[in-house]
């Protein structure tokens, strides 16, 4: 396979890009709750910005753009190019389902924040709690998969 045609998941920088993006998404996501100041985390030199809601909000969006872009890129490549050779594992599907839920609830919250958009209050609470619940599920499943060495993809048996 020539270099330019390499799949995004085979690019050497992919792991780092994905890891850094997920890390900052989670960090800035937790920053939406007023906890970093209360628990002294924002007092650590260099981390004061974690208590600045408009900064963490902006960064959450920024990393969401990157994350959603690479997720869509990966899924499209999977469908078009590699699903004959490899398949997504069950744990992979589980994590993709969680990520899809995160993107769906996150997108609705992004729309909610535009001027003139209002959703019923009960719906907003469900969105907020689901987004939070899903990220906890993502962290938990990521941890379990790491411990059990579960991969996202596996080769199809010939």
Q: What residues line the site for other proteins (CB under 8 A)? A: 1-2, 4-5, 8, 32-35, 38-40, 53-54, 57-58, 61-62, 64-66, 68-77, 80-81, 103, 106-107, 110-116, 118, 121, 124-125, 127-129
Nearer to other proteins, 46 or 116 (CB): 116
Of 93, 109, 121, residue with least CA distance to 57: 109
> What does the alpha-carbon distance between residue 27 and residue 157 come to, in Å, rounded to a whole number?
39
Which two structure tokens, joined as six digits, stand for 52?
A: 């600045």
Of 106, 110, 92, 102, residue with least CA distance to 135: 102
Nearer to other proteins, 54 or 146 (CB): 54
What is the residue whose two structure tokens read 């690019």? 11
Which two structure tokens, joined as six digits, stand for 34?
A: 């007023």
CB 29 → other proteins: shortest distance, Å? 10
CB 132 → other proteins: shortest distance, Å? 8
Which two structure tokens, joined as six digits, stand for 149?
A: 């060495």
CB 150 → other proteins: shortest distance, Å? 25
> What does the alpha-carbon distance between residue 51 and residue 29 come to, in Å, rounded to a whole number?
12
Nearer to other proteins, 16 or 69 (CB): 69
CB 33 → other proteins: shortest distance, Å? 5
Q: Which residues contact 39 (CB under 8 A, 6 or more apart)?
A: none
Residue 145 neighbours by CB distance under 10 Å: 17
CB 148 → other proteins: shortest distance, Å? 29
């Amino acid at each position: 396979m020539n270099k330019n045609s390499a799949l995004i998941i085979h690019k050497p920088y992919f792991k780092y890009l994905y890891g850094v993006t997920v890390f900052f998404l989670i960090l800035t996501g937790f920053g939406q709750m007023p906890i970093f100041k209360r628990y002294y985390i924002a007092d650590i030199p260099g981390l004061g910005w974690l208590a600045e809601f408009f900064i963490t909000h902006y960064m959450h969006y920024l990393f969401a753009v990157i994350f959603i872009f690479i997720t869509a890129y990966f899924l499209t490549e999977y469908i078009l190019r590699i699903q004959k050779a490899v398949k997504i594992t069950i744990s992979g599907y589980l994590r993709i389902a969680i990520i899809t839920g995160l993107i769906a609830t996150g997108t609705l919250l992004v729309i909610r924040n535009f001027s003139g958009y209002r959703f019923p209050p009960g719906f907003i609470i469900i969105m907020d709690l689901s987004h939070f619940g899903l990220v906890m599920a993502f962290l938990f499943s990521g941890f379990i998969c790491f411990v059990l060495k579960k991969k996202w993809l596996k080769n199809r048996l010939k």
